[in-house]
Amino acid sequence: MGTQGVTEGGLRASPGDRLVVRGHHVGERERDGEILEVLGEDGVPPYLVRWSEDGHVSRLYSGSDAYIEHVGPRTREVRR
């Protein structure tokens, strides 16, 4: 996969997209959640995220360990 969806400054997302954070240690699972609101300009972080594991809502400044799955009405596209 290319760098589609990743800007020079990082990720771009829209409400409804899925944010995935990779595990930091061997055997640690990924965390994911739905982006409820984009708090930065032009789709950049921070994001308001509802985590799928427990429904908790938090503000997140994503790092290099995260990627966005863009979910649209016709396609689902992964952008890293």
Instruction: Say whether pLDDT at 76 is over 90.
Output: no
- Residue 71 is predicted with a pLDDT of 82
Give tens-digit pLDDT for 37-53: 999 999 999 999 999 99
* DSSP reduced 3-state for 18: strand
Of 71 and 3, which is predicted with more confidence? 71
Of 66 and 76, which is predicted with more confidence? 66
Q: Which CATH architecture has domain 6-79?
A: Roll (2.30)
Mean pLDDT value across residues 58-68: 91
Look-up of token digits 């959640």? 33
User: What are the extents of the domains in the chain?
Assistant: 6-79
Q: Which residue, 65, 67, 61, is CA-closest to 79? A: 67
